[in-house]
Amino acid sequence: MRIVGYTYAAEVHCVECTRRDADCGVLVRKPPLLLDTDQHGIALDLFDREGNPVRPIFSTDERFGDRCCDCRDTI
């Protein structure tokens, strides 16, 4: 299955905006730290500011077709 976006902070985000948030520290990694990343190079142990895990949206999910809450691109 192909990852097309992510959910965190009670919103939907595209791959590019999620990568930016991870790189800028908006999303944080919490122990136990994992060495693996997903197909987009995004760490599998990311959490949002509320402490909720970042969850992938797959091309087969019902959220597919939503818009990114940051850049408004279609997921």
Residue 26 in domain: yes
Pull the structure tokens for residue 2.
Answer: 């192909």
Q: Is the pLDDT of residue 63 over 80?
A: no
* pLDDT value for 1: 85
Q: Give the residue-averaged pLDDT of 44-56.
A: 96
Phi, psi angle pair for 24, to nearest 5°: -90, -5
Q: Domain span at residue 32?
A: 3-58
Which of 66, 11, 75, 16 lies closest to 41 in space, CA to CA? 16
Pull the structure tokens for residue 1.
Answer: 């299955």
Residue 65 in domain: no
Residue 69 in domain: no
Instruction: Report pTM.
Output: 0.91
Residue 70 in domain: no
Q: Give the residue-averaged pLDDT of 10-39.
A: 95
**What's the pLDDT band for 62 if we cut at 50, 70, 90?**
confident
Residue 63 in domain: no
Q: Is the pLDDT of residue 17 over 90?
A: yes
* Residue 52 DSSP one-character state: P
State the total domains in the chain.
1
Residue 67 in domain: no
Residue 71 in domain: no
